[in-house]
Amino acid sequence: MPKAINILSAALLALLLALSGCSSKDTIKIGAATYTETKIMAAIYKELIENRTDLKVDVIPDLLSNSMILKSMGRDDIDIALMYSGVIFNNFFPVKQTTDRESVLQQAQEGFDRHYNLKWFDPLGWENTYALTVREDVAKEKGFNNVSDLQNYQSEMEFGVDSSWMERKQDGYPAFIKHYDFNFQKAYSMDVNLVYEAAASKNVDVVLAYSTDPRLIEYKLKTLKDDKRFFPPYDASMVARNEILEAHPELNEIIDELTGKIDEETITRLNYEVDINNRSERDVAREFLQQKGLLKK
């Protein structure tokens, strides 16, 4: 009898392991970094995938760096994540230095496929990068739309910038003012979290901000187009393991459904709902998809 029990136990254990394996294969793991829009997009794709397929989706949040995301994908700990094209300059593989948007995207798509066996999808429609920012009333009064529009006013304007950016010679303030031939009256170094309020309270006239930060809405600030392309592009794209796409080819169409559909204004407003209005990423994601008519009944 003990022998029969052992055989039965072994059979049950094998069955449980087999069932567990099947379950894991039917679970898609989406990774998200520590900042809000990556979590919102993870929630959006969780809703979409679970709505369109029988797959289950787990979201793994608060991955601290691009290196951690790539290592997790290499270990199959996550299958899909949001990344930005400008990460190619983080020494993941050899690249050509350029600020040309199409060239950076092409290098990201080819490089991550060749070196990491990942599919880099076409951009979702926005980029999260540094952006020169002024108050909306000032932009309207003076007709500011592009960074170069500041040329005739920069000698009388005060500039507030992130402390770390002020000190970077190659791609920071010194290179920037040379690139645009600017000479601001004064440039103040401050914590990046203080620049938004500093501009709104008129302590400075121009600040360097992040292009999708919801505080742009909160403080009624306008970002100016980097028309001479000083900053490298950071177009947002979904990235997925090729193996998971081969196992579930339907994911290609689902991921591609939002390609080019989410612009900078849209993602900033979604960030605003979470960060300023204190709503959950899941509720904001579901509302967005419902408004777009993308959830099947």
Domains in the chain with CATH codes = 2-127+233-291 (3.40.190.10), 130-223 (3.40.190.120)
Whole-number Å distance between alpha carbons of 53 and 208 = 43
Q: Which two tokens stand for residue 209?
A: 């901000």
In this prediction, residue 23 carries a pLDDT of 39
- Give the torsion sign (CA, 95, 124, 140, 160): negative
Nearest alpha-carbon partner for 40 in 292, 295, 287: 287
Nearest alpha-carbon partner for 270 in 254, 258, 256: 258
Q: 218-230: per-residue pLDDT in tens?
A: 999 999 999 999 9
Strand order in the sheet with 27-33: 56-63, 27-33, 80-84, 236-241, 118-120
In this prediction, residue 12 carries a pLDDT of 45
Phi, psi angle pair for 54, to nearest 5°? -90, 10
Q: 222-273: per-residue pLDDT in tens?
A: 999 999 999 999 999 999 999 999 999 999 999 999 999 999 999 999 999 9
In this prediction, residue 25 carries a pLDDT of 61
Q: Tens digit of pLDDT per residue, the chain (297 long)?
A: 434 444 444 444 444 444 444 434 689 999 999 999 999 999 999 999 999 999 999 999 999 899 999 999 999 999 999 999 999 999 999 999 999 999 999 999 999 999 999 999 999 999 999 999 999 999 999 999 999 999 999 888 999 988 888 887 778 898 999 999 998 888 899 888 899 999 999 999 999 999 999 999 999 999 999 999 999 999 999 999 999 999 999 999 999 999 999 999 999 999 999 999 999 999 999 999 999 999 886
CA distances from 193 to 95, 133, 153, 209 (A): 32, 14, 25, 9
Q: Give CA torsion, residues 11, 16, 18, 23, to 10 deg.
A: 170
Name the DSSP letter for residue 122: P
Nearest alpha-carbon partner for 132 in 265, 219, 223: 223
